[in-house]
Structure 1
Amino acid sequence: MARIPLEDNYDDVINKAQRGLGITDEQLAHRAQITPADLAALKSGTFHEVAARRVAQHLRLHADALCQLGKKSWYPTQPVFRTGFAAFNGKFEDMTVNSYIIWDERTRHAAIFDPGASGDNLLELVSSEKLNLRSIFLTHTHDDHIADLAKVVDATKAEVWASEREPVDFPAAKTFKDGAFFHLGPFAIKTLLTSGHAPGGVTYFITGLSYPLAVVGDSIFAASMGGAPTPALYSEALTNNRRHILTLYADTVLACGHGPLTTVAQERKHNPFLAY
């Protein structure tokens, strides 16, 4: 994948954390001991390190990681897969969204994770590599991740799989229970419930490639995470991310729904929501 921007800036992180904790601007400014004007400037994109560090403390964010975002001083080191993995980044309305494919070099069996905004490049790879697309796994069913699902299914006749917790408006889709396992040639695919951003949000943990791979959808982004609309769901998302993703092997590659690839080790250090 060509280098693409981080999904969130520091002010996006502040806004997501503040909404997730249910803290008003007035409360946050008072607790952080900064003026409402300074908070408004910080949240609108005027970075000020002292104010950011004070706000981070009261939003339970890692201050150093937040300030790295504010200074634009960090970008994740990108792992290189020798074979059997490809990533695609396509435009959906005013944003971009990622989709991924893995395949077995011997059998040519393949699986897609989220067809995304456009399946054209995915289908071109399937054709050029003479792959037999067996399965399409959905991390969740927000529109940007499944916009081209029907086209990909029509072209490949692949099975569609999603969590039984996730609403799926696609008649041919099959669902699985928490903790389900799948196999594709030499690859083992374990499902991990990482709900919060979506009720049936799933991370697919895959072994058998150059690195352990976790396709995380919008559960985690490089230096951020997907938003949650209520404090209860925000807490659920944080808990699941810490319990099911950050406990994976340090060299596990995180294939995020938006933004660049990252790794567990890098997010343990550079993600304001999750660093320790």
Structure 2
Amino acid sequence: MARIPLEDNFNDVINKAQRGLGISDADLAKRAEVSLADLAAVQGGKPIDAVLRRVARHLNLSPNALEDLAHKRWYPQQVVFPRSFAAFNTPCEDITVNSYLVWDPRDRVAAAFDTGATSEPMLDLIQAEGLTLRYIFLTHSHEDHVAGLAPLAAKTGAEVWGSELEPVPHPGAKVFRENAHFHVGTLAIKTLLTAGHSPGLTTFYVTGLSWPLAAVGDSLFASSLGGSETRFRDQLSSTKRKILTLPRDTVLACGHGPLTTVQQERDHNPFFAR
């Protein structure tokens, strides 16, 4: 996958945190002892270091990580899988969205995580590699993540699985609970409920590849977190407890933006770094 821009800028992080915590501009400016004009400038994308650092402390964000993000001083080091893993980045209106494919190199059986805006690139690779797609796992059912579901399921005959906690937009789909276990050849897959951004948002933890892998959907992005106006604290908590406690070399396959790792997010994500 070519280098993909980070999903969120520093002001997106500030706005997500402020909105999720329900703090008004007037209240935040007062707490941080900054002017409303300076706060508005930072919210609009102007990197005024003294202001963003003051604001960060009152939004439970890491000032250092937020400043690094503001000045584009960090981008996640990309992990290379020598085989059995592919990432697809497809355009959806004014954004791009990711989907992923893993497979057993001997048995040639595969599993997909989401479909992106179109599943055509994934279908091309499945055919080129001679793979049999056994499962299509949905991290959540937002349109940008499932837009290519119907043709992918129809052309491969794969089982479609989604969380029991939200509608799965496919006739005949099956549902799982948290801590469900699947096997794709020698690969093992476990479901972890990381809800907040959506009620059934699920992370799929995969072992048996060159590196442990977590397909996290919109739970978090490199240097950011999946947004939610009503369940922000749930998203923050579930991500911290269930994703950032995975082995530190776990590769995080995010719904938007580049790949990252548990350790890199512990060190550089403003929501979690300290």
**Residues 211-230 of structure 1: matches in 2 within 5 Å?**
211-230=211-230
**Residues 4-19 of structure 1: matches in 2 within 5 Å?**
4-19=4-19
What amino acid is the match of 1:16? K
Q: Distance in 2 between matches of 1:172 and 1:47?
A: 49
Q: Distance in 1 between matches of 2:273 and 2:130?
A: 42
- Tell me what 1:274 maps to: 272
Corresponding residue to 2:257 among 256, 259, 266: 259
Deviation for aligned residue 1:169: 2.5
- Tell me what 1:117 maps to: 117
Deviation for aligned residue 1:264: 0.1
Q: Distance in 1 between matches of 2:178 and 2:120?
A: 31
Equivalent residue pairs, number: 274
Q: Does 1:45 align with 2:36?
A: no
Q: Distance in 2 between matches of 1:267 and 1:177?
A: 27
What amino acid is the match of 1:81? F
**Residues 43-192 of structure 1: matches in 2 within 5 Å?**
43-192=43-192
Identity %: 59
Kindly provide the CA deviation profile for residues 116-165 of structure 1, in whole angstroms up to 9, marking residues without a partner as x. Answer: 10111000000000100000000000000000100101111100001101
Q: Distance in 1 between matches of 2:9 and 2:259?
A: 16
Q: Distance in 1 between matches of 2:238 and 2:218?
A: 12
Kindly provide the CA deviation profile for residues 153-196 of structure 1, in whole angstroms up to 9, marking residues without a partner as x. Answer: 11111000011012223222100111101111111101000000
What amino acid is the match of 1:239? S
Q: Which runs of 4+ in 1 moved over 6 A?
A: none
Q: Distance in 2 between matches of 1:239 and 1:15?
A: 18
Kindly provide the CA deviation profile for residues 50-76 of structure 1, in whole angstroms up to 9, marking residues without a partner as x. Answer: 000000000010111111110111000
Q: Does 1:20 align with 2:12?
A: no
What amino acid is the match of 2:208? G
Q: CA RMSD in A?
A: 0.6
In structure 1, the gaps of 5 or more residues are none
In structure 2, the gaps of 5 or more residues are none
Kindly provide the CA deviation profile for residues 58-107 of structure 1, in whole angstroms up to 9, marking residues without a partner as x. Answer: 00101111111101110000000010000010000110000000011111
Of stretches 31-40 and 170-179 in structure 1, the one that deviates more from structure 2 is 170-179
**Residues 190-201 of structure 1: matches in 2 within 5 Å?**
190-201=190-201
Q: Distance in 2 between matches of 1:242 and 1:154?
A: 36
Q: Distance in 1 between matches of 2:225 and 2:40?
A: 22
1:216 alignment partner, SS class: strand
TM-score, normalised relative to structure 1: 0.98
Of stretches 141-150 and 164-173 in structure 1, the one that deviates more from structure 2 is 164-173
